Amino acid sequence: MATDGIVDQSAVLQAFDGSPGIQVVVRASDLRVVAANRRARDLLLRDSLVDVRLQDLREPGIQTIVTALSEVVRTGVRFHEDTVPVVPDWSDPTSGVWLDLEVTPWLDESGALAGAIAAGIDVTARVRAANLERSGAATADERLARAREVVLRLQGALLPSTVPLLPRVDVAASYLVAGLEQAAGGDWFDSATLPDGRVSLTVGDVVGHGVEASAIMSQLRAVLAARLLEGAGILDALDAVEAFAGRVSGAFAATVCVALLDPHSGDLEYATRGHPAPLVVGPDGAQILPTTGDGPLGSRTEGRVSTARLRDGDAIVLFTDGLVENLHRPLRDGIAVLERTAIDAYHGSSPALRGIESVASRICQHVPAVLTDGGFTDDVTVLAAHRRTPPEALHLTVPAEPGRLAEVRGEIDVWGRGVGLGTRDRAALVLGVSEVVANAIEHAYRDGDVGPVKVAATIRDDAIVEVVVRDHGRWREPDVDPGDRGRGFSMMASAGLQVGVETAADGTTVTLECPARRPAPVDQADVVVGGAAREKAPLAVTTDPAGARVVRVGGAVDHRAAAAQVQAEILRLSRNGLVPVTIDLRDVVHLGSAGVRVLESLLQTIDRLQVIAPAGTPAAQTLEVAGTPFVSSEV
């Protein structure tokens, strides 16, 4: 025991050795440990640490402590970290602990740096509890995200997936969901071409959120669309919706705006039932049209219809109140911001906007992005229709040579993008035109002469894209037993194309039709970087230099000669079907029916033939349409 004025060194050493946490003292002159308590020795799995040099403590799991001591000795600057992992036995991760570690300079009586002192408190229990809490929160977040994804899919299924495109009217739409806890909402939009040639534009809002609101809005949308497609006027169609809403719980006080636009004259009829009136934006500015003064569904107000006229170049914008109403912004200010933002989008006031050719698409992308930048508490729907100059029809004449197929596909793709077609519809159109032109190249001119093939593409007033392919050769009657041929027409049908064939003494005319539509509700700039260069890539058939039996195909397999080249190389490598071979199509830019026909023939000939086409590649898309078996990656 200690007496007055005398330090009991034995007691001090015992107290130090039994102190909580770890204590390690290092001398500056030679970086040797001069003191270490029992917990430090136990943690570092050493019977003794005294006189051990820091550089001899080599275990990977304790290097944070070693480095911290060395740095404090070198710099004289305190180190502190509240969660330091220490794993003395790297082969047994469970041996590790978490320390709240502090390393301070050790100064002698003169204030000179004598070394460093490390003190660490075991916080393993606290860290594990926090990790468990975070893990539980992450699991909950994942469940919420999955639930939201399911509801968003439901929302997408209840809304139209596309909007129509006409020569004089370009339509686009966007839909934004308010928040995680409100993943399904009551907003809706719709657009269609009517029997009298006009375009219907409707936007509505059911009170509330959730699956029930989504179900009600889908029913109201369906009733309204059905009556308009039957040729009913606005008031008759709204009467049908009113009658239906009176029998459906939850439809009371739903709001709606309906507009009918004549693409050629610009004449507009519209009615608002408790809903914001449309915005008209054009070269000279923007203004909100007057409401028709009628209340929401169930208010039993007398229905009225107002009229206006859109000039050439004007756009009309229908929207739900979530776009302009905000807790942090009065409604009048929201309308003013909407008008300014719509003008910016109309004129393409930024480089990003100028990169989007479609005025309607610019409005539907830019306006919601700006007005919801500070957050929003209600769903946001925007539907825009722009009276545009009709896109020029495509007229193309090429000689009936296989080498011109890439040019034809490129021209069709560029034209389709210009009129506003979505990626999937453009791909189907490119596939169909390539098949028809390839057929003309192969069969129309069989006497050695190379005649012309003419391609004309246009968009019609009934929202249909029509492509006519003509040649001046002789028609060849199909074989009674076509064998493995004739796949091109079935592929076109599977892609959603309507095909018509007319034969005459002076040649054959094939007409392809597909809906003219833009994907909705979220429309994005549809830019393909380097697409033209890839489309013109020549056919390349190579084998693995390492000796593996893999045939890699690149470029376009778009006619019989190209397909025959692929077939010959595969048969050579497989020894005419005796040994297994893998065909890698990831670099193919276009796979026509001739290529599909060869692949299916080879699949029947070679027992262990694997066709690889990564998901999303042109080859994979064609094989999916044709129903040809393939794998998306090597297995």
Q: Is pLDDT of 3 > 60?
A: no
Give yes or no: residues 588 and 500 share one domain: no
114: domain CATH number? 3.30.450.20
Q: Cα(438)–Cα(471) distance, rounded to whole angstroms?
A: 11
Domain end marker among 490, 519, 548: 519
Give yes or no: residues 572 and 456 share one domain: no
Give yes or no: residues 173 and 307 share one domain: yes
552: domain CATH number? 3.30.750.24
- Bond prior to 614 in cis (omega within 30° of 0): no
pLDDT above 70: percentage of residues in the chain: 84
Q: Is pLDDT of 463 > 90?
A: yes
The pLDDT of residue 179 is 54
Give yes or no: residues 268 and 351 share one domain: yes
Q: Between 187 and 168, whose confidence is greater?
A: 168
Q: Supply 434's token pair.
A: 């390539």
> Mind listing the pLDDT tens digit for each residue in 576-623?
777 888 999 999 888 887 788 788 788 877 878 889 999 878 888 778
Q: Cα(607)–Cα(218) distance, rounded to whole angstroms?
A: 50
Q: What is the mean pLDDT of residues 327-346?
A: 85
Distance of CA 51 to the CA centre of its chain: 62
Does 128 reside within a domain? no
Does 471 reside within a domain? yes
Q: Cα(127)–Cα(117) distance, rounded to whole angstroms?
A: 24
Does 591 reside within a domain? yes
> Mind listing the pLDDT tens digit for each residue in 31-72?
999 999 998 898 888 889 999 998 888 776 788 888 889 889
Domain end marker among 519, 548, 582: 519
Q: What is the mean pLDDT of the chain?
A: 84
Tell me which H or E stretch contains 201: strand 199-209
Domain total in the chain? 4
Q: Between 633 and 383, whose confidence is greater?
A: 383
Work out the pLDDT band at 529, boundaries 50, 70, 90.
very low
Give yes or no: residues 416 and 437 share one domain: yes
Give yes or no: residues 462 and 317 share one domain: no
Give yes or no: residues 425 and 316 share one domain: no
Q: Supply 20's token pair.
A: 């909580």
Contact between 455 and 468 (Cβ < 8 Å): yes
Give yes or no: residues 270 and 360 share one domain: yes
For 298, which DSSP code? Answer: T
φ, ψ at 134 (rounded to 5°): -65, -40
Domain end marker among 122, 146, 181: 122
Q: Between 276 and 5, whose confidence is greater?
A: 276
Contact between 117 and 23 (Cβ < 8 Å): yes
Q: Is pLDDT of 511 > 80?
A: yes
If we measure between CA atoms, which residue out of 326, 363, 34 comes closest to residue 172?
Answer: 363
Give yes or no: residues 184 and 286 share one domain: yes
Does 527 reside within a domain? no
Give yes or no: residues 225 and 363 share one domain: yes
Give yes or no: residues 165 and 49 share one domain: no
Does 138 reside within a domain? no
Contacts of 189 (CB under 8 A, 6+ apart): 159, 160, 173, 175, 202, 203, 204, 318, 381, 383, 520, 521
Q: Cα(321)–Cα(334) distance, rounded to whole angstroms?
A: 10
Q: Between 6 and 410, whose confidence is greater?
A: 410
Most confident of 172-176, 235-239, 469-473: 235-239
Work out the pLDDT band at 532, boundaries 50, 70, 90.
very low
> Mind listing the pLDDT tens digit for each residue in 217-228?
889 999 999 999
Q: What is the mean pLDDT of residues 245-271?
A: 91
Q: What is the 3-state secondary structure (H, E, C) of 508-559?
A: EEEEEEEECEEECCCCCCCCCCCHHHHHCCCCEEEECCCCCCEEEEEEEECC
The pLDDT of residue 355 is 83
> Mind listing the pLDDT tens digit for each residue in 79-96?
998 888 887 765 665 667
The pLDDT of residue 5 is 58
Contact between 115 and 73 (Cβ < 8 Å): yes
Contact between 585 and 611 (Cβ < 8 Å): yes
Print the domain residue range for 436: 394-519
Give yes or no: residues 324 and 408 share one domain: no
Does 373 reside within a domain? yes
The pLDDT of residue 278 is 96
Tell me which H or E stretch contains 582: strand 581-591
Q: Which value, to the nearest 10 degrees, does the dihedral of the CA atoms of residues 550, 428, 352, 278 take?
A: -150
pLDDT above 90: percentage of residues in the chain: 40
Q: What is the mean pLDDT of residues 272-290?
A: 94
The pLDDT of residue 574 is 80
